[in-house]
Amino acid sequence: MCLALLSGLLSASFCPAFAQQPATPKEPAEKPKPRVRPNDAGVAIPTRFDMLRGAYGPYRANNDLLYYHLDIRVDPGQKSIQGKNTIRFRMLQDGTRIQLDLNEALNIDKILLDDAPLKYQRDTGAVFIDFPQTLRAGQTYSIDFYYSGHPLETGRFGGMTFKKDPAGRDWINTACEETGASIWWPNKDQWRDEVESMDISVAVPNGLTDVSNGHFTAKTDLGDGYTRWDWHVSYPINNYDVSLNIGNYVHYSEKLGGLSLDFYVLPEDLERSKPQFAQARGMIEAYQHYFGPYPFVKDGYKLIQAPYSGMEHQSAVTYGNLFTNGYLGHDWTGVGISPLFDFIIIHESGHEWFGNSITATDRADMWIHEGWTTYLESLYVEYRWGKQDAIKYLNGYRPKVHNLRPIVAEREVNADPTEDQYFKGALMLNTLRSVVDDDKKWWTLLHDFYQHFKYQNISTDDVIAWFNQSTGMTLTPVFNQYLRRAAIPRLELLFGEAPGMLMYKWAADEENFAMPVRVGTHGHWQTIHPTTAWQVMQTPLSKDEMQVDIDHFYVDVNKQ
Ligand SMILES: [Zn+2]
């Protein structure tokens, strides 16, 4: 996810979610000041919509998604959409009702099972569908959900936007992680269950191109002024990753081994896109080095110009970072590393491994997408420029963390986690590397963690259990302190009860919190093993001389 759009860190006049993106970037905006969003400080009370959206209720839990065929026609003049989603699912238990979702602004034209209309009931964004006969556990069913209307342009991502490109041609895009995919198409709008594969057919006026997820299969002139573009997704896919990118795109491609890299940009930006998009190759090589093959080889990797900063749409990453390094022209972490690379190419594409291949089961666990992918940025830096720059880059994120609420939010209520999930999540993983204290082992852990959970939907508990088992360490209190508590651990250092004596312990919310940490002076670190009970050590260092290795451990320190 594009975090400037999420956080509002950038001025409205500069952020393309709020204003049409200029063809040529204007003067870079002033360096943004971090600010506390309302949801960094507190939790909103869920609405009825949130409860129905967030809950994995009985009419979701009674079935397992297998396949979607989204087959639609988009009318730029009317700013409307019309078509159907064919939804195939297997019943996990006997039942006569299932829950799907569609934004209330859109009409339901009909819902068919074997050409027979089904009854349904709408309740905020939910659509409860009733079957005249019991659907049987273990059996597979397919329904056709016909809908039409004017999708809302809403949320900082836009939902579905009908814009014009800088030359005045139609430019229609979707980006709906925040609002949910049901803002523009009917689906089972939650994170836990994904289809195994999907077809996307999009009819658009002749002359326009639709680039969606997956592998391009066909382009058909429908003879009525419209052309249908067909795409096939060969892997499980999140609903919010399904996307339309309709515009006057030009296309070029290259190969990275057996992987197709395809690039779609507006014609005016063709030349300046080429040197910038060349970064995609090095990005994929870096992530493959750490985690293994690009997850969606059959679908290929695409980078598609869009009128907002960027989004990790699976195998179809969207890009609006002004064809320049950094993040919308800024040194994003403020320590001189960010200008070395294009933040959107590196961050959004990292989500192919964490977010798209490995997916959280609930928005409450979204740090599995964003904390990990922010950490992946530093892996890219390490792969290209070495560990020192990677650590420097990561610690540039420190001022962006607020520590006002836990980064894991309440489950099953469509919760909006704090933005700390990005930066604090990455700093926690960097800390974990120092706790493991063996880089060779750390690289193996990262690789094996990804390989173990790829193409799966997992929770925070799954992550913790895997790391406990794979390291042989008791890491639950460490993960819990960083993920489920607002404050980070604070190392209490009490000097001078007697000459040369230092008392130390952790102040932490988690009972039994224990974590090694390095103290001493730069180049002469010593690992100590504080718990929440005082321990004593001898040291020749004075209070002023004694340092804590906070570059490698994201902790607070209180020296007295
Ligand atoms: Zn992201």
The CA–CA distances, whole Å, from 132 to 32, 100, 137, 325, 358 equal 57, 17, 16, 57, 37
Nearest Cα residue to 317 out of 308, 328, 329? 308
Residue 368's Cα: distance from chain center in Å? 8
Measured in Å, residue 1 CA sits from the centre of ligand 1 at: 3
What's the 3 CA to ligand 1 centre distance in angstroms? 6
pLDDT attached to residue 345: 98
Sign of the CA dihedral 332, 333, 334, 335? negative
Tell me which residue has tokens 């896109």.
273
What is residue 32's predicted lDDT score, i.e. its pLDDT? 53
What residues have their beta carbon closer than 5 A to ion ligand 1? 1, 370
Backbone φ and ψ for 251, nearest 5 degrees, come out as: -130, 135
Q: Distance (Å, rounded) from C-alpha 383 to C-alpha 378?
A: 9
- Relative to beta strand 259-265, strand 301-305 is parallel
CA 73 – ligand 1 centroid, Å: 30
CB neighbour list of residue 443: distance below 8 Å, 6 or more residues apart: 290
pLDDT tens figures, 4-41? 444 444 333 233 333 334 344 344 445 555 677 777 87
Q: How far does residue 50's CA lie from ligand 1's centre (Å)?
A: 22
> In whole angstroms, how far apart are CA 15 and each of 164, 336, 543?
16, 22, 46
Which tokens is 329 given? 């022209």
Handedness of CA 386, 392, 395, 399 (dihedral sign): negative
3-state secondary structure of 487: coil
Note the pLDDT of residue 496: 84
CA–centroid distance, 429 to ligand 1, in Å, is: 16
d(CA 68, CA 65) in angstroms, rounded, equals 8
The residue type of 397 is Y
Question: Which tokens in the block code for residue 524?
Answer: 């002469």
Which pLDDT tens digits describe the chain residue by residue (560 residues)?
Answer: 766 444 444 333 233 333 334 344 344 445 555 677 777 877 889 999 999 999 999 999 999 999 999 999 999 999 999 999 999 999 999 999 999 999 999 999 999 999 999 999 999 999 999 999 999 999 999 999 999 999 999 877 789 999 999 999 999 999 999 999 999 999 999 999 999 999 999 999 999 999 999 999 999 999 999 999 999 999 999 999 999 999 999 999 999 999 999 999 999 999 999 999 999 999 999 999 999 999 999 999 999 999 999 999 999 999 999 999 999 999 999 999 999 999 999 999 999 999 999 999 999 999 999 999 999 999 999 999 999 999 999 999 999 999 999 999 999 999 999 999 999 999 999 999 999 999 999 999 999 999 999 999 999 999 999 999 999 999 999 999 999 999 999 999 999 877 899 999 999 999 999 999 999 999 999 999 999 999 999 999 999 999 999 999 999 999 99
Query: Hunting for tokens 């420097």 — which residue is that?
Result: 392
Closest among 393, 379, 505, 352 to 442, alpha carbons compared: 379
Question: Where does 278-419 have alpha helices with state H?
Answer: 279-291, 343-350, 367-385, 387-395
For residue 94, the CA-to-ligand 1 centroid distance in Å is 38
Distance 370 CA to ligand 1 centre (A): 5
pLDDT of 23: 40
Handedness of CA 10, 13, 18, 20 (dihedral sign): negative
Separation of alpha carbons 151 and 128, rounded Å = 20
- 93 within 8 A of 138, measured Cβ to Cβ: no
Confidence (pTM): 0.94
Distance from Cα 470 to the centre of ligand 1, integer Å:
26
Ligand 1 centre and the CA of 366: distance in Å? Answer: 10
Q: What spacing in Å lies between the alpha carbon of 264 and ligand 1's midpoint? A: 21
Q: Give 404 Cα–ligand 1 centroid separation in angstroms.
A: 21
Going from the Cα of 208 to the center of ligand 1, the distance in angstroms, rounded, reads 29
How far, in Å, CA of 233 to CA of 472, rounded?
A: 38
Whose tokens are 């800390």? That residue is: 431
Instruction: Report how far ligand 1's centroid is from the alpha carbon of 371 (Å).
Output: 8
Torsion-angle region of 500 (φ positive above 0: left; ψ -120 to 50: alpha; else: beta): left
CA distance 362 to 83: 29
**C-alpha of residue 497 to centroid of ligand 1, in Å:** 48
Give the pLDDT score at 21.
40
Q: If we measure between CA atoms, which residue out of 427, 419, 364, 421 comes closest to residue 393? A: 427
For ligand 1, the distance from its centroid to the CA atom of residue 109, given in whole angstroms, is 35
pLDDT digits (tens, 9 = 90+) for 332-363: 999 999 999 999 999 999 999 999 999 999 99
Neighbours of 541 (CB within 10 A): 16
**Ligand 1 centre and the CA of 216: distance in Å?**
25
**Measuring CA to CA, how many Å separate 275 from each of 247, 311, 319, 385?**
22, 20, 14, 19
CB-count exposure of residue 388 (10 Å: 0-12, 13-18, 19+)? exposed
- Give 186 Cα–ligand 1 centroid separation in angstroms: 24
